[in-house]
Amino acid sequence: METRGKFANDLLTRLGAPTSRRNRQALVAWMQTEGYGGKNNPLNTTMAMPGSTIFNTHGVRNYVSLDQGLEAAYKTLILSDARYGYDRVVRRLRQSRPPHSTLTALIDSSWGTTDLVLDVLEDVKRTWPEMASKPAAN
């Protein structure tokens, strides 16, 4: 079972961002807020990948593996047009900004995550070992 903490580390490494506690907490809070939506898709991205299927009416995907979900999240964040605002999220991760700052950029983006993520962040900080060790995918 891969944990949310490991998924966060792997995504940060692919993004060329520090695997700092700040960044890991931001990503784990993001995963917690998204819940267990699409299979092998802890951030509920909509990037089509080979063999993926549609999970819901928003276009969130089910992926064939967690590695594919990781690649889809990476590609969504890196390859998307700047008008979606994901570039600001990536920039803040690469700067290892405070998690509140990174998540504010996420809220301001087109991802669809609401400001509930900021409340979840406080829970993640308070119960860090437990939250980081939750399964990354359903």
Cα 97 to Cα 19, 50, 92, 136: the distances in Å are 12, 34, 5, 23
Q: What is the pTM of this model?
A: 0.96
Task: Find out whether 75 and 47 touch, Cβ atoms under 8 Å.
Answer: yes
Helices 66-79 and 86-94, interaxial angle, to 10°?
100
pLDDT value, residue 1: 79
Distance of CA 96 to the CA centre of its chain: 15
Q: Is 79 exposed, middle or buried (0-12, 13-18, 19+ CB in 10 A)?
A: exposed
Compute the average pLDDT of residues 55-70. Answer: 96
The confidence band for 37, taking pLDDT boundaries of 50, 70 and 90, is confident
- Mean residue pLDDT of the chain comes to 96
Buried b (16+ CB within 10 A) or exposed e, 93-113: beebbebeebbbbbbebebeb
Helix (H) or strand (E) holding 88: helix 86-94
Helix (H) or strand (E) holding 67: helix 66-79
Res 138 pLDDT > 90? no
Residue type, 2: E
